[in-house]
Amino acid sequence: MKQTLCSVASNVEVMPGIHLMWIEAPNIACSVLPGQFITVRCGDFTLRRPFSVHQVSSREIALLLTVAGKGTLWLSQRQTSERIDILGPLGKGFSIEPESRNLLLVAGGIGIAPLVLLMQYASSQHQITLIHGASTAAQLYPSAMPKTGPSSAGKKRSKLSPLPKGVQFIPVTEDGSMGKKGMATDILPDFLDWADQVYACGPVDMYKAMAEMSLRAKRSNLKLTKCQVSLEVRMGCGFGACYGCTINTKKGLKQLCHDGPVFELDDIILQEVRI
């Protein structure tokens, strides 16, 4: 974990209200693991904002940030070469068990952010299926969508790296504008027999639906697939000093910033998670 002043390499709005920001941070780029996060000091706000690392290159890291308040608005307005104060990498991320070959990734909306880094880290020995659910086609991960030619939307999309080769991408939209109509969890059962491990990032309601599935499978003595999920709650310090992010789990009290943000789905008491 290191606090550094880093330059913004680029900052583009890639989807409505969502920015892809590349930051020159070689020390983090070479050490961050999928699912870990950084915190950014946003203007004069005392509390730093946490962001999952979305992608890495040899010297840079990328964030996929949603403008959701004054802090993220400030960050979204930073220009190339401006310096920002970042701290990381922080927390514990996803892990791939040595014997796992078939990885099922489930993203709800902007929850795609850390899963793209997980795909970058998976080796050629892994088969990956990504289910991405969003309310409408415009909010699906753009690089997986057909390019639309020289329109501004097409140019913006091209700023995002394509998904790694061989990834099976399954879009699901609530309004049916792309892929199947419904929620990501509607089609999840079709892939559970295939998957050796499941990784998810999205809203708590998505995790509740997944936990229900797991409970039903247990009751019916069906195959149980291990599932790691990335949780999001309000944070203070971001590195285990303030206890502001403590959650209750089946294994006792845990600090999300230090013991997570990735946990086994079965260990979380979802009813007690407050965002």
List of residues contacting ligand FES (CB under 6 A): 235-238, 240-245, 255-257
CA-CA distance, 220 to 215, in Å (whole number)?
A: 9
57 vs 249: CA distance, rounded Å: 35
C-alpha 222/C-alpha 232 separation (Å) is 30
d(CA 229, CA 231): 6
The CA angle 18-23-28, to the nearest 5 degrees, is 115
As a whole number of angstroms, the distance between CA 27 and CA 61 comes to 10
Neighbours of 43 (CB within 10 A): 12
Token duo for residue 96: 């791939």
To ligand FES, the closest distance from the beta carbon of 55 in angstroms equals 24
Q: How far apart are CA 200 and CA 12, in angstroms?
A: 26
In the block, residue with structure tokens 């792309």: 178
Cβ closest to ligand FES, residue 39 vs residue 55:
39
Instruction: State the Cα–Cα distance between residues 237 and 30, nearest whole angstrom.
Output: 23
Grouping H, G, I as helix, E, B as strand and the rest as coil, residue 262 is strand
